[in-house]
Amino acid sequence: MEKFYITTPIYYPSANFHIGHCYTTIIADALARYKRSKGYDVYFQTGTDEHGLKIETKAHEDGVSPKEYVDKIVLNAKDLWKALNISYDYFVRTTDESHVKAVQKIFTKLYEQGDIYKGTYKGLYCVPCESFWTKTQLVDGKCPDCGREVNEVEEEAYFLKLSKYQDRLVEYLETHPDFIEPESRKNEMLNNFIKPGLEDLCVSRTSFKWGIPVPFDDNHVVYVWLDALTNYITTLGYMSDDDSKFKKYWPADLHLVGKEIIRFHTIVWPIILMALDLPLPKKVYGHGWLVINGSKISKSLGNYKDPREYIKDFGVDAVRYFVLREVPFGSDGNFSVEALIDRTNADLANTLGNLVNRTISMVNKYFDGSINNPKEYLELDQDFLKMINELDEKVASKMDNLRISEALEIIFDLLRRSNKYIDETTPWVLAKEDAMKKRLETVLYNLLEAIRVCSVQLEFAIPSTIEKIFAQLNLEDKTTKYVDNNNYHVNKAEALFKRIDKEEFLNSNKM
């Protein structure tokens, strides 16, 4: 069985997660579910990046230990992932003992082989982003990521020799065109960061304590990116007594990350792996941000609310569907309650919900819920059945290229076509004539097959709705093509989505 190892970034548990974190995690979940449906042995990992000055400071402000502080947020995060139906296989915390031990071994190995050395760090540091910057990288003298003040710091530190691997990295990127996606990000990395010259990376700190101790130098803790990036292999048992998972799943097939951390994943991480003499991940995909009125949704800007509020108001699948559908491949997308309501009403309630409801109701009304296919096809069925049969291949061509939004568009084209098929065949007219009974049964059968086939494809996006649809269809057949001899004994029709009255909702002060 072919394996598929997919990861999200491990998020900083410095505050509870917002819809932006959900965005990455939902995409990863969608891809993991899709690959599982295609028979892959999927390993889907997410988790939390718990060390660093920012968390130490936050915990101090709250009067608790850093561990107590992150424990609470991790519980909240796990509850959120449950509410969003995130099907992760493993949740890593960088405070896990096995991770800590493996990071210490990696650090020691890199030191002993001369890839990590001791020096003095003089630099500009942005506390909220936990990033060091050079003068030339600043924008108007401020942090290029968040626009805030940076502080000058000087301390003894260990460094990772990025410069030593620069040429190998350039060669790798140039000979592996699929490694970074979208392609524009690859050019940005090469031209803006790598080719101007890589500076060695500071990988330890002495100015705070909340980190993994450098095993041979008590004053230092491992600085957060070496600790964070290695999570992708430490969880598989790399450098532990049992590395069977490592042998099975490494290299990762896909690291999914937001665009602001793509440089760590396509420069620092490959170099760590080269230094460890390990294969590189197959692909790093840098997606765009969800923005609210053009600005980044962020913990530090405080312009967000708990994602569970949206789930409560609109349902989990409305939220999942919205983020998967609304943000095109690689670009930013706007999150707004208005757009969420519009999408839910148009696609989920009107197109999908109505189709299922109308079809199942008619099957109940005209055939007491049970139909077999009399196969009384007409010319006008051909185009419809062709669309059903081509769906799997068309969706695969999009999903395999991470074009989730386009894949959904294709599935909804068929759902819309199915509604049109009802208008073209007018089942309520056929029902009036006994002579048309078989034709009517064929039409409804075709519609049930369209619903079934679309549901098979849509499971990655809206799993709990699809479970309800399969319960109404009362059939578990997951084949992706039209089957002409299924026996349907459908259950009662039940509404899947309620149309949301936008005005009423917006006026009800819930914004």
Rounded to the nearest whole angstrom, what is the least distance from the CB of residue 218 to ligand MSP in the complex? 25
Q: Which residue has the tokens 């402000």?
A: 61
Nearer to ligand MSP, 50 or 441 (CB): 50
Give the integer Cα–Cα distance in Å for 296 and 289: 7
Rounded to the nearest whole angstrom, what is the least distance from the CB of residue 43 to ligand MSP in the complex? 16
Name the segment binding ligand MSP (CB under 6 A); options: 197-205, 252-260, 461-469, 499-507.
Answer: 252-260
Q: Is 461 in the site for ligand MSP (CB under 6 A)?
A: no
Binding string, 225-244, against ligand MSP, x = CB under 6 A?
---xx---------------
Question: Quick one: which H or E segment has residue 46?
Answer: strand 41-48
Q: Is 270 in the site for ligand MSP (CB under 6 A)?
A: no
Give the integer Cα–Cα distance in Å for 455 and 460: 9
Rounded to the nearest whole angstrom, what is the least distance from the CB of residue 93 to ligand MSP in the complex? 12
User: How big is the CA angle at 236 (ends 235 and 242), to the nearest 5 degrees?
Assistant: 115
Q: Is 56 in the site for ligand MSP (CB under 6 A)?
A: no
Rounded to the nearest whole angstrom, what is the least distance from the CB of residue 327 to ligand MSP in the complex? 8
Q: Is 50 helix (H, G, I), strand (E, B) or coil?
A: coil
Among 198, 261, 356, 407, binds ligand MSP (CB under 6 A): 261
Binding string, 23-42, against ligand MSP, x = CB under 6 A?
xx------------------
Q: Which among 423, 458, 507 has a CA at the least distance from the CA of 348?
A: 458
Cβ burial of 245 (10 Å; 0-12, 13-18, 19+) is: middle
Query: Residue type for 341, please?
Result: I
Q: Is 47 in the site for ligand MSP (CB under 6 A)?
A: no
Nearer to ligand MSP, 304 or 314 (CB): 304
Give the integer Cα–Cα distance in Å for 139 and 208: 27
Nearer to ligand MSP, 261 or 461 (CB): 261
47 C-beta neighbours (distance < 10 Å), count: 25
Question: Quick one: which H or E segment has residue 103?
Answer: helix 97-112
Rounded to the nearest whole angstrom, what is the least distance from the CB of residue 326 to ligand MSP in the complex? 12
Give the integer Cα–Cα distance in Å for 187 and 218: 40
Name the segment binding ligand MSP (CB under 6 A); options: 9-17, 274-282, 408-416, 427-435.
Answer: 9-17
Q: What is the CA radius of gyration of the chain?
A: 26
**Which chain residues interact with ligand MSP by CB under 6 A?**
9-12, 20-21, 23-24, 49, 228-229, 257-258, 260-261, 289-290, 296-297
